[in-house]
């Protein structure tokens, strides 16, 4: 977009990607103070319908913005995010703001310091004006909790925006923020991005520090297994921008380690080797979504990509899902009360060894001994090796994020009692974890790009899984799809 099309008086700053707002700031077409005022008005107008932003401090943000503007006039550069207003998922601590993580026991928690990844964003010059809603301890693919209530999807307020970074994605899609930092252990960046029609990136495990994330409890230093912290935005370029800021060894490791992520394998579709995994008998996908995935792959093919419609890694979706759920539930079990674990032990003891239902895998994983955890960890390493071999022949694999578009709020406390309809058939709610699992289990990067709308006007995103540590390849492919298909489209009414 040329300078003549951008100006301080424009009324659509809210749907400009972060990188364009930064260009406008650099060119003097707007100011940080003006953008803070602008997003405050957006929040006052539209947040009541969404309940996406749950804590905010526009007064402090305005003061920081004025300081950023003054510094810019003096020729100072605070960094790549100089003066950009933005929000942060409430699972991540921001000094002086509430960090509740959806949990009533932390309702009064105001940390004195930023989460490590947040500190990097602040060091890069960003101005954090709000926190966005999450489910209880970021533990659901819907976003609601007793402290802040329910967050709605801007595309259909009767539906959820996904979770656990649901407030983040809803705020982006509703034009309340230009950039976000979320987290993902079960699709918690990718699912909201898909359901709200925005971009998201689950980084390679371990490349972005997690200290200052809730859970675990405030003050914990252990970073755990599986989960990651990563960006959400309105363009693929924003994903690359924010990842480049937050990625790197944590503070304790930085004395001896540096991170040097490979450049993308391709910067245009020509010659890109793409595998597609759009259908699988283990988890049926909504037919409208599958059609949009196919159109997306064909768009890349038309621009020169080499598409393999039948390729699969050397394992089944069922096989990798079982390993994922065993280690996921082992991870989550550390926060579960004794009576829940006792129920799981009873279910495991009485259950059929051949039963691999969600309830049984939860019971087995949630009561896993460390000795048995090591057996499943070895299974993971074997699967990682199979992925690595697969990526010698393909650059990325395109796959679903979730088996369907946005769905109505369902706060039934027992997940096993919830269901979702896919192609007229009822499926277990916990199937929401299946397509998120392969990348999480095997520590792979995975980006999400919007690829179109259903007949009911709901967005659909596609998952782009890539080789270990090749985050910029999956983000680059998200950018190719953005170019081919138009990228983010605003929901009506916002």
pLDDT tens digits, one per residue of 215-235: 999 999 998 999 999 999 999
Q: pLDDT (tens digit, 9 = 90+) per residue, 66-77? A: 999 999 999 999
- Domain boundary among the residues 229, 246, 263 is at 246
Whether residue 409 lies inside any domain: the answer is yes
Q: Residue 253 falls within a domain, yes or no?
A: no
- pLDDT score for 8: 46
- If asked whether residues 387 and 464 sit together in one domain, one would say yes
pLDDT number for residue 335? 83
4 in a structural domain: no
Same domain, 202 and 336: no
How does pLDDT run across 305-338, given as a tens digit for each residue?
999 999 999 999 999 999 999 999 999 998 888 9
Domain boundary among 246, 261, 292: 246
In terms of domains, do 197 and 311 share one?
no
What pLDDT does residue 9 have?
Answer: 52
4, pLDDT greater than 70: no
Q: Are 423 and 287 in contact (CB under 8 A)?
A: yes
* pLDDT of 5 higher than 50: no
- Per the listing, tokens 């890109």 go with 272
Residues 241, 343: one domain?
A: no
pLDDT for position 393: 98
66 within domain boundaries: yes
> What is the value of pTM for the model shown?
0.97
pLDDT tens figures, 144-158: 999 999 999 999 999
CA distances from 41 to 17, 69, 90, 153, 441 (A): 18, 20, 21, 19, 41
Domain match, 41 and 123 both: yes
* pLDDT score recorded for residue 91: 98
Question: Is 279 found in the same domain as 235?
Answer: no
Q: Is the pLDDT of residue 457 over 60?
A: yes
- What domain range includes position 394? 273-485
Domain identity same for 63 and 185: yes
Q: Is residue 161 part of a domain?
A: yes
- Considering the chain, what percentage of its residues have pLDDT values greater than 70? 98
The tens digit of pLDDT for each residue in 11-60 reads: 789 999 999 999 999 999 999 999 999 999 999 999 999 999 999 999 99
Pair (233, 354) in one structural domain: no
* In a shared domain, residues 241 and 97: yes
Residue 313 near residue 452, CB atoms below 8 Å:
no
Residue with tokens 């930085």: 254
Q: What is the per-residue pLDDT for 337?
A: 86
CATH of the domain at 341: 3.90.1300.10
Question: Does residue 265 lie within any of the structural domains?
Answer: no
Q: Are 202 and 190 in contact (CB under 8 A)?
A: yes
Say yes or no: 309 and 172 in one domain.
no
Domain final position from 246, 265, 293: 246
What is the pLDDT at residue 336?
Answer: 86
Q: What is the pLDDT of residue 12?
A: 86
- 339 and 403 co-located in one domain: yes
Same domain as 231, residue 292? no
Residue 410 lies in a domain: yes
Residue 260, domain member (yes or no): no
pLDDT tens figures, 391-433: 999 999 999 999 999 999 999 999 999 999 999 999 999 999 9
Buried b (16+ CB within 10 A) or exposed e, 116-144: bbbbbbbebbbbbbbbbbbbbbbbbbbbb
Domain count, the chain: 2
């Amino acid at each position: 977009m040329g300078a003549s099309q951008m100006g301080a008086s424009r009324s659509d700053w809210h749907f400009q990607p972060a990188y364009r707002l930064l260009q406008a700031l650099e060119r003097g077409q707007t100011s940080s103070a003006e953008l803070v005022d602008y997003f405050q008005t957006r929040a006052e107008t539209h947040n009541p319908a969404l309940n996406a932003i749950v804590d905010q401090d526009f007064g402090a943000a305005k003061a920081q913005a004025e300081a950023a503007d003054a510094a810019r006039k003096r020729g100072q550069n605070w960094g790549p995010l100089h003066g950009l207003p933005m929000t942060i998922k409430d699972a991540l601590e921001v000094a002086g703001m509430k960090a509740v993580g959806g949990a009533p026991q932390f309702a009064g928690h105001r940390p004195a310091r930023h989460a490590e990844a947040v500190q990097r964003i602040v060091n890069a010059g960003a101005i954090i004006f709000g926190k966005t809603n999450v489910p209880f301890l970021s533990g659901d693919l819907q976003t609601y909790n007793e402290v802040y209530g329910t967050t709605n999807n801007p595309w259909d307020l009767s539906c959820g925006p996904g979770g656990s970074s649901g407030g983040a994605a809803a705020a982006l899609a509703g034009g309340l923020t230009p950039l976000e930092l979320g987290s993902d252990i079960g699709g918690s960046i990718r699912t909201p991005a898909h359901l709200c029609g925005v971009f998201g990136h689950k980084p390679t495990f371990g490349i972005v520090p997690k200290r200052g994330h809730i859970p675990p409890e405030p003050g914990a230093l252990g970073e755990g297994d599986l989960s990651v912290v990563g960006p959400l935005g309105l363009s693929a370029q924003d994903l690359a921008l924010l990842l480049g800021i937050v990625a790197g060894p944590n503070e304790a490791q930085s004395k001896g380690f540096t991170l040097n992520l490979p450049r993308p394998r391709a910067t245009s579709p020509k010659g890109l080797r793409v595998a597609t995994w759009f259908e699988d008998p283990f988890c049926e996908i909504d037919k409208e979504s599958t059609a949009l995935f196919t159109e997306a792959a064909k768009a890349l093919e038309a621009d020169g990509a080499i598409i393999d419609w039948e390729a699969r890694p050397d394992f089944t979706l069922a096989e990798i899902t079982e390993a994922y759920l065993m280690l996921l539930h082992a991870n989550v079990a550390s926060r579960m009360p004794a009576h829940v674990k006792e129920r799981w032990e009873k279910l495991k003891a009485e259950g059929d060894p051949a039963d691999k239902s969600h309830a049984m895998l939860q019971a087995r994983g949630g009561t896993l001994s460390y000795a048995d955890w090591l057996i499943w960890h070895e299974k993971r390493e074997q699967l990682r090796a199979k992925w690595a071999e697969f990526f010698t022949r393909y650059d990325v694999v395109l796959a679903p994020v979730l088996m369907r578009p946005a769905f109505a709020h369902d706060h039934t406390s027992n997940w096993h009692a919830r269901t979702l309809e896919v192609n007229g058939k009822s499926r277990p709610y916990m199937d929401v974890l299946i397509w998120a699992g392969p990348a999480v289990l095997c520590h792979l990067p995975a980006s999400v790009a919007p690829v179109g709308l259903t007949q009911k006007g709901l967005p659909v995103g596609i998952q782009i899984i890539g080789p270990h540590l090749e985050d910029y390849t999956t983000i680059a492919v998200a950018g190719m799809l953005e170019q081919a298909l138009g990228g983010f489209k605003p929901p009506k009414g916002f």
